Chains A and B, each alone.
Chain A
Amino acid sequence: MSRRFTLLTLAGLLICLAAEAASAQSGWDGRRRVSFQRKNDLFYNYYVGPQPSGTAAEMYVSPLPVPVHVGHTYNTYQPLLPHEYLHTHKRTYYTHNPGHGWTRTNVRYNSYDYLFKAFAYQQVKPHYYPRPASRQ
């Protein structure tokens, strides 16, 4: 393997890592593969609007808003927030506890499906669709 090929491969890997970092670091509004926890962040809500000229809405209480006198339900564990179950992803939570260091929590939301989806699709498909005539 030539030195130039090695350099080319390393350069490609660096570009990939840079693109990955750029896509991951979009702040709170982007995909958060890593989340550094803050205690005052626990009951923060999510909002949409009112730009440019509309009204605003908050996400929780979900799935639909309720009148103020009904009350509010708080979820005390961020990985179990209902909106995390909306799509397949994974995340790592880092929490600093003064005097005790850091804790790390890895959460997968059906992420293993990525690995087995193609295989499972091939296995399941013949049961739902008629087999080609050549296989009968």
Chain B
Amino acid sequence: MTPQAFLAPSRLAAACLAAAVVFVFADDAEAQRRAQRRAQTYNWHSNYAHYQYGQPVALVVPPNVNMTSDWSWGVGSTRWRRVDHQFGRNWPGPGPHGGPFQPTPVWPQDTDQYGVYYVRGPW
């Protein structure tokens, strides 16, 4: 096949369409798998308990959420981070798990210290 025939507009259009669809679906699935793998490597909460519940509280957010931010006092203290953890069907077993947790400081310096953490809802 000559290069001119191989690069015919109809073939290029079909190839681009197939590549785009594969990229969209495969990229989405791969992003989900990466988030699941990352979620296994760190906890969904920091070591602070919510003042009413005595342990970290998971705040359900939509499953298509990607990022969240933590605010703090001072220059350069605002951080952006991924929301990798997601509610799933696996029962964690009888508790209690983890702990002990620190209470929210009297003068909180960071939104991370309130004991409320985003967790994505299931698909």
Contact = CB atoms under 8 A, between A and B. Distances in A.
Contact of A49 (B43, B89, B101): B43
B73 to A, nearest CB: 26
A89 to B, nearest CB: 7
Given A55-B55, A55-B56, A57-B57, A28 B88 contact: yes
A83 B67 CA distance: 19
Interface in A118-132: none
Interface residues of B, number: 52
Contacts, number: 146
B22 A8 contact: no
Contacts of A50: 43, 92, 95, 97-98
B89 A29 contact: yes
B121 A83 contact: yes
B25 A16 contact: yes
B96 A55 contact: yes
Contacts of B95: 50, 55-56
Given A29-B86, A46-B87, A50-B92, A23 B44 contact: no
